[in-house]
């Protein structure tokens, strides 16, 4: 059996996903980072963006993460975010509407949020 | 119906109406405690993970961040007080206010000026009535606080702690809130959020139920920081403050509902007792009335009989 690491994806008000994984790819402020089992202890600041988790049963979980942290130690990886959503939970039409609305209102933060959601769905 | 009896009947009616209201409030509060408790539990993983991350940076790096180092002679402290928006919750708000008063006295004795920040209409009213200065206050969400509320509160606090004391900034950040221990026990507690003391962090991690027992003895691994320890700490600490405030808000909300449930339960019980003793009095009054009527009738009949017996002769 391939080596595994335990992943906890938690938002401020709930635990979004947890389970075993073989690879986690996330975007930190200094670039994309991939974490595999046995990685050196790490603590990084996340950019808004999709996070890809390759689960140990071969599946892929994609989540939209809006800022937060990644921390890895003892083969345990935590992704902390104020807001985090799984790609399955994202309502594409709503996100598209939000994107258009944000563009017309020139609300950069809302536009980025909607964009991250759509990219997470696309990567899924 | 006699005047006395009517008065009792009216009072019984009034108390019964009050009892219905307090009973309804009790049941509403009871159902909300469960919801509030669930929210506290749901926010725990984030708080625990964040605390662990803060501990990791604080111990794993020797950076001197302004938010983790003690100021030599702290001159001003901010106190954040969490009270409720609505009353009818027994001693809930006044206990928190009293705890804040004690903290203020202690800080004043240490020679620090105190800036007060208040959440909840009750605390605002208390300070407003005494014409004390409140730096900032928030109301309207103590029933069911959201994370965005915690962010709103944390923003000016973080800003003022990053400022120099000379420019009106603060050196320390304290919080007073009502800790939810159980359905029956809630304690008003105060704690220092910043600057971080590592003992407090680890004991908070213990209290928050990290699955590994004996976190204090656990040697934390050397971390790789991305992009750098300072940047991570810069980003981490505001989130840490927000999460602590959010957790305190949620606990305070659960405590408020528990306090209200208890207050309303004793009000309902009291109303029940009152109704019982009032109905006893009403029964006695009714019986006295009947007795009086009978004796009047008997007396009247006797007088009539005497009178007719006399006229017969």
Residues B84 and B171 in one domain: yes
Which residue, among B254, B123, B103, has the nearest Cα to B174 in the 3D structure? B103
**pLDDT tens column, A1-29:** 468 899 989 888 888 888 899 999 998 88
> What is the chain A residue with the closest CA to B57?
A43
Residues B133 and B276 in one domain: no
Is B219 within the bounds of a domain?
Answer: yes
| Residue from B36, B42, B44, B49 whose CB has the most chain A CBs within 10 Å, to mutate | B49
CA separation for the pair B92, B75 (Å, rounded): 31
> What is the chain A residue with the closest CA to B245?
A12
Residues B200 and B176 in one domain: yes
Is B53 within the bounds of a domain?
Answer: yes
Is B229 within the bounds of a domain?
Answer: yes
Complex confidence, ipTM: 0.79
Q: Inspect the interface and report whether the beta carbons of A45 and B227 lie closer than 8 Å.
A: yes
Contacts across the A-B interface (CB distance below 8 Å): 88
Q: Inspect the interface and report whether the beta carbons of A42 and B231 lie closer than 8 Å.
A: no
Torsion-angle region of B135 (φ positive above 0: left; ψ -120 to 50: alpha; else: beta): alpha
Is B178 within the bounds of a domain?
Answer: yes
Residues B104 and B213 in one domain: yes
Is B312 within the bounds of a domain?
Answer: no
Highest mean pLDDT among A77-86, B41-50, B122-131, B182-191: B122-131
Is B43 within the bounds of a domain?
Answer: yes
Last residue of a domain, one of B226, B242, B262: B262
State the average pLDDT over residues B116-120: 94
Q: Inspect the interface and report whether the beta carbons of B226 and A12 lie closer than 8 Å.
A: no
Domain count for chain B: 2
Where would I find the H helices in chain A?
Answer: 92-105, 108-123
Is B201 within the bounds of a domain?
Answer: yes
CB atoms within 10 A of CB B43: 24
Residues B85 and B159 in one domain: yes
Residues B172 and B136 in one domain: yes
Give me the CATH number covering residue B289.
1.10.287
pTM of the predicted model, to two decimals?
A: 0.83
The whole-number pLDDT of residue B197 equals 66
Find all residues with CB under 8 Å of B211, minimum gap 6, and list them.
Answer: none
The whole-number pLDDT of residue B220 equals 60
Is B313 within the bounds of a domain?
Answer: no
Give me the CATH number covering residue B131.
3.40.1380.10
Q: Inspect the interface and report whether the beta carbons of B227 and A80 lie closer than 8 Å.
A: no
Residues B198 and B295 in one domain: no
Residue B212: is its pLDDT beyond 60? no
Residues B209 and B292 in one domain: no
CA separation for the pair A85, A94 (Å, rounded): 14
Residue B71: is its pLDDT beyond 80? no
The whole-number pLDDT of residue B207 equals 47
Nearest to B226 among A8, A11, A43 (CB): A43
Residue B36: is its pLDDT beyond 80? yes
Q: Which domain holds residue B172?
A: 27-262
Residues B198 and B274 in one domain: no
| Residue from A9, A67, A80, A109 whose CB has the most chain B CBs within 10 Å, to mutate | A80
Q: Inspect the interface and report whether the beta carbons of A43 and B239 lie closer than 8 Å.
A: no
A10 Cα to chain B: minimum distance (Å) = 6
Burial class (CB in 10 A: 0-12, 13-18, 19+), A61: buried
CA separation for the pair B35, B89 (Å, rounded): 18
Q: Inspect the interface and report whether the beta carbons of A29 and B225 lie closer than 8 Å.
A: no
Residues B157 and B301 in one domain: no
Residues B233 and B284 in one domain: no
The whole-number pLDDT of residue B200 equals 52
Tokens of B234: 């810069």
Residues B294 and B191 in one domain: no
**pLDDT tens column, B160-190:** 888 877 777 888 889 999 999 988 889 999 8
């Amino acid at each position: 059996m391939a080596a595994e690491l335990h992943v906890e994806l938690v938002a401020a008000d709930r635990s979004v996903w947890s389970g075993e994984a073989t690879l986690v790819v996330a975007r930190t402020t200094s670039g994309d980072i991939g974490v595999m089992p046995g990685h050196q202890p790490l603590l990084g600041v996340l950019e808004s963006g999709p996070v890809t988790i390759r689960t140990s049963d071969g599946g892929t979980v994609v989540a939209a993460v809006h800022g937060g942290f990644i921390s890895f130690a003892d083969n345990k990886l935590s992704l902390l975010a104020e807001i985090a959503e799984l790609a399955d939970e994202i309502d594409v039409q709503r996100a598209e509407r939000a994107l258009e609305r944000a563009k017309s209102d020139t609300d950069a933060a809302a536009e980025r949020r909607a964009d991250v959601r759509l990219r997470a769905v696309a990567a899924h | 119906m006699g005047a006395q009896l009517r008065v009792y009947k009216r009072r019984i009616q009034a108390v019964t109406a009050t009892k219905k209201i307090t009973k309804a409030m009790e049941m509403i509060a009871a159902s909300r405690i469960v919801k509030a408790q669930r929210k506290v539990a749901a926010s725990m993983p984030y708080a625990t993970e964040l605390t662990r991350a803060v501990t990791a940076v604080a111990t794993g790096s020797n950076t001197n961040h302004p938010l983790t180092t003690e100021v030599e002679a702290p001159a001003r402290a901010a106190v954040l007080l969490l009270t409720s928006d609505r009353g009818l919750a027994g001693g809930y708000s006044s206990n928190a206010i009293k705890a804040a008063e004690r903290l203020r006295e202690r800080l004043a004795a240490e020679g620090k000026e105190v800036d007060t920040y208040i959440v909840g209409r009750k605390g605002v009213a208390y300070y407003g009535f005494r014409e004390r200065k409140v730096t900032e206050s928030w109301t309207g969400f103590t029933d069911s606080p959201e994370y965005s509320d915690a962010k709103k509160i944390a923003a000016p606090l973080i800003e003022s702690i990053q400022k120099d004391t000379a420019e009106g900034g603060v050196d320390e950040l304290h919080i007073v809130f009502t800790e939810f221990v159980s359905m029956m026990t809630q304690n008003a507690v105060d704690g220092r959020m910043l600057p971080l003391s590592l003992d407090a962090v680890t004991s908070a991690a213990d209290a928050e139920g990290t699955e590994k027992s004996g976190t204090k003895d656990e040697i934390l691994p050397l971390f790789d920081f991305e992009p750098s320890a300072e940047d991570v700490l810069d980003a981490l600490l505001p989130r840490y403050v927000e999460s602590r405030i959010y957790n305190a808000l949620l606990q305070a909300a659960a405590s408020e509902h528990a306090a209200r449930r208890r207050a309303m339960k004793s009000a309902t019980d009291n109303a029940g007792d009152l109704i019982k003793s009032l109905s006893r009095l009403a029964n006695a009054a009714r019986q006295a009335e009947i007795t009086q009527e009978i004796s009047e009738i008997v007396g009247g009949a006797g007088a009539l009989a005497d009178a007719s017996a006399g006229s017969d002769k």
